[in-house]
Each structure stands twice: as C-alpha cells, then as structure tokens.
Amino acid sequence: MLEKIIEEIKSINAYEFEKLLDEFEKEEEKIEESDDVLIIGDIHGDLDSLIKLINLREKEKIIFLGDYGDRGYYQVEVYYFLLRLKEELKDKVILLKGNHEFPEVEFAPHDFPRSLLSKFGNKAFEIYEKVKNFWNKLSYFAIVKEKYFLVHGGIPIEVPKIEEILKNKNFIIQLLWNDPTEENTMQSFRGIGYLFSKKVTQEFLEKNNLEKVIRSHEPCNGIKENHEGKVLTAFSMKGIYGNEKIGAIKIVKDSIEKILI
C-alpha cells in the first residue's frame, strides 16, 4: 500500500487531490481509543521523515498531532500522502488539528498556498478553499486508552473539564498554541497562548482522570519530557530546526515506547 501511494505522489493531479479533500469526513471531536497507537508529531512538509515513521507501523492505529504543511519542501505531497493513507486505512488513521490548520488565528510562516500554486497553477485558489474546509473537519484532541490526552499544543491554563473545552474559543486556541514550562505559568513567547506549568498539568490530569499529555508543536530533538514525564512532546520533522533526530511515540497495551530515528 505505501509503495503504491509513494508512486502516486510523483504525479499528483488537481482532480485527485480535490477528490480526496471532498471525501474526507468530519471526525468526532472526542475520540476514545482502546487500540494500540503510533503517534506522530509535526510534519511540516517533511515527506521523507513521514515515510520513515509510517514504516514503523505494525498493526497500530496512527494519530497525527497536526501541522502538516508550511516550511518544508513537500507540503502538497505530505497532504496527499495523509489523505490517501486515511482513504486506505479509514478509522485506523486520525488527523488532529494543529495551529497551522486553524486560520481563525493568523500564523506564520504560511507558505502552503504558494506550494499549491506551484503544483496546480490557477487551480490552487479553488483547492485552497477546499483545504480550509478540510481543516474544519479535523478533531482538536483525542483520548487514548482513557488515560492519555493527545493534542497539538497544550492544555488550557484555566484547567477545564474536557467536556467544557470545545465550548470556549480561548480554550481551543490554547489547545493549539500552548507549551509546557518548568517555570510558573506565563504568557507565551509566541505571542499567542501560554506556557503552562507543572501545577496546571497535575490539576488537569487529576480533574479529568488522566495520566499523561502527549503533544507536539514545539521543536525538539525528537522527544522531550516535561513535568516529571507527565507531558511528552514528539517532533517528527527535521531539516529546519537543526534537530538531529525525529521522534514518535507508540502506546502498546499499557506501555509507552519513545521512538527516535
């Protein structure tokens, strides 16, 4: 299957790309998974790293933590690969929303439209509108094995119950933009969102009967731990931030495997 998709990437056409975008169905906002999963962080157009990580899959479901385009060389190809993977594996693939899939808040760099223009010419403007519609279908978080909270950025500093999060736009923005800190909670250096402290993490996990937060969003050398291992960051692309490793996380039964390649 992977070989077939990789071969198709060499000749992506606008019709097939649009068709995949149109066929993508909105997923549940809260996903409780009991199966084993492979968790992949930011990709940002890094097709080579994406393929390497997908080749590690055995029978696990795959959950992507967002940020699929912008920055990298193969942004359209990454989108096509993920959409075809979803088409083939259906509910075995879950795509979460990152801050680069949330146009309600301005973000930079945002060169994905330029990548579409380079690939599809004037057709790119129509396709970009369909991409934005696709973004609206992505889930904000997932809950795995009823104890791991998967999200792109972080948890809201107000420490809400999970069922309250999606009712509040400020909480939603924090899901996509927040980062952990070993210091006290403070405004984020990104200009949007916050840096959330160990205390926030502890309260959020206790209030929602969870054990860990697994997220991406933050460049690191593959895997990073915060808050005594209660927050795990997986960063799955390289070539821009100077990291030597790419990371992913496998949850198999009750164990967490950190992957560095």
For residue range 100-143, what is the model confidence (pLDDT) as tens digits? 999 888 888 899 999 999 999 999 999 999 999 999 999 999 99
Secondary-structure percent of the chain, ordered helix, strand, coil, rounded to 5: 35, 20, 45
Q: Is the peptide bond before 109 cis (omega within 30 degrees of 0)?
A: yes
pLDDT tops 90 at residue 29: no
Q: Domain ranges in the chain?
A: 26-153+216-260
Kindly give the pairing relationship between strand 93-95 and strand 61-64: parallel
Mean pLDDT estimate for the chain:
94
Specify the pTM.
0.96
- pLDDT recorded at residue 51: 97
Residue whose C-alpha is closest to residue 236's, from 6, 96, 52: 52
**Sorting pLDDT into bands at 50, 70 and 90, what band is 26?**
confident
- For 12, the 3-state DSSP assignment is coil
Partners of 252 in the beta sheet? 255
- pLDDT recorded at residue 62: 96
Residue whose C-alpha is closest to residue 104's, from 170, 186, 23, 187: 170
Residue with structure tokens 């931030």?
241
pLDDT tops 80 at residue 8: yes
- For 261, the 3-state DSSP assignment is coil
26-153+216-260 in CATH: which number?
3.60.21.10
Mean pLDDT of 51-76: 95
